[in-house]
Chain A
Amino acid sequence: DGGITQSPKYLFRKEGQNVTLSCEQNLNHDAMYWYRQDPGQGLRLIYYSQIVNDFQKGDIAEGYSVSREKKESFPLTVTSAQKNPTAFYLCASSRKWAEANTEAFFGQGTRLTVV
Chain B
Amino acid sequence: GNSVTQMEGPVTLSEEAFLTINCTYTATGYPSLFWYVQYPGEGLQLLLKATKADDKGSNKGFEATYRKETTSFHLEKGSVQVSDSAVYFCALKSSNTGKLIFGQGTTLQVKP
Contacts and interface: CB of A to CB of B under 8 A. Distances in A.
A17 interface: no
A61 interface: no
Contacts of A90: 43-44
Contacts of A111: 41
The size bracket of the interface on B is 20 to 34
Contacts of A45: 99-100
Contacts of B94: 100
B100 A42 contact: no
Interface in B19-40: 29-32, 34, 36
B105 A104 contact: no
Most chain B beta carbons < 10 A, residue from A4, A58, A98, A103: A103
The size bracket of the interface on A is 20 to 34
A108 B99 contact: no
A103 B89 contact: no
Contact of A108 (B4, B42, B100): B42
A42 B45 contact: no
A45 B34 CA distance: 17
Contacts, number: 61
A1 interface: no
A33 B98 CA distance: 11
Contact of B98 (A50, A103, A108, A109): A50
A31 B98 contact: yes
17 contacts: A6-B43, A33-B100, A41-B105, A42-B103, A42-B104, A42-B105, A43-B44, A43-B89, A92-B44, A94-B100, A98-B98, A101-B49, A103-B46, A109-B41, A109-B42, A109-B43, A111-B41
Interface of B: 4, 29-32, 34, 36, 41-46, 49, 51, 89, 93-95, 98-100, 102-105
